[in-house]
Amino acid sequence: MANIEVQIKPTGIKQKNLVDLLCMMVTSIKGICAKLDLDTNTDDTYTAKVFTALFNGYIEDSRNNSVLNRVAAKDPYFYMISPNGISDKALVECIYQIFKMMKTLTIQIDADDASTSNYAALIYQVYYLWTVENEVGDTVGYSTDFWITPKGVKDRRQLVDILYAFAKSIDVLTKKLDTDAVPGGADYHALWDTAVFLMQIEDSKGNVAGNALTTFNP
C-alpha cells in the first residue's frame, strides 16, 4: 500500500527529507547523463559536461545513498551535505549547481535533437523560475523577482517550491526523452524518476510531484 503522506510541503519540511530530495535530484541528473552517453543518436559527453564539470559536492541521504564529485578547480567551494547537517551556504551552492546542470543538460539535448529542439523551453525555462547566486557571485537563472543569495533560502515556501520544481522537471524531462525520437533509448522515466524520486513534494499552490512511497517514511 502506498504511503499517502506528502513528505515535503509548505507547512513543514524535515531536514532529512530535504537532504534526501537533493540527493535524489543529483543522482537522477547523473543517471540521465550516463544513459544519454550510452544511447544512440546522442553525444557521449553529457556526463563530462553536465555532471563531472558542474557538480562539486558530496550528498549522503538518510537511506544509505550518496553521490559525489569533486571539481579540482573549484575545490575551495566543495561542500558536504548529510541528514546530520546542511549549512545555508551548502544548500544554496547545491541549488545553484542543480540549476546549472539542468540548464546545460537541456541546452545540450536541444543541440542533439534538431527535430524537437525545445527541452530548454519546455523544462528549464518553465520550472527554474529563480535567479540563484553562489558564494563567489556567479548567477544562474532569469528571474528579477525571485533571487536566492548565499545568505540562504529564508522563505520556507520558496524553498519548497524550488524542490517541487526539481522533482517536476525530472518527471517532464524523462517522459519527453522516452517519447522523442532522439535519444534512441527508452525507460528514462522508469529508471531516473519512478525508481529515484521516492517521496512526494507539494508546492505552495497545492501541486504534487514525485512518487508515493510504498513503505512509511515520513
Q: Which residue has the cell 563531472?
A: 52
Q: Is-cis flag, bond preceding 76, omega within 30?
A: no
**Distances, alpha carbon 162 to alpha carbons 8, 15, 95, in Å:** 11, 15, 9
- Please give the model's pTM, rounded to 2 decimal places: 0.94
4-13 pLDDT, tens digit per residue, is 579 999 998 9
Reduced to 3 states (helix: H, G, I; strand: E, B; else coil), residue 69 is strand
Q: Which residue has the cell 508546492?
A: 203
More confident of the two residues 27 and 116: 27
More confident of the two residues 130 and 146: 130
Reduced to 3 states (helix: H, G, I; strand: E, B; else coil), residue 213 is strand
End-to-end CA distance of the chain: 15
Domain boundaries, the chain: 15-210
DSSP codes, 72-96: GGGGGG-EEEBTTB--HHHHHHHHH
- Between strands 147-148 and 66-69, the pairing is unpaired
- Between strands 131-133 and 147-148, the pairing is parallel
26-53 pLDDT, tens digit per residue, is 999 999 999 999 987 778 999 999 999 9
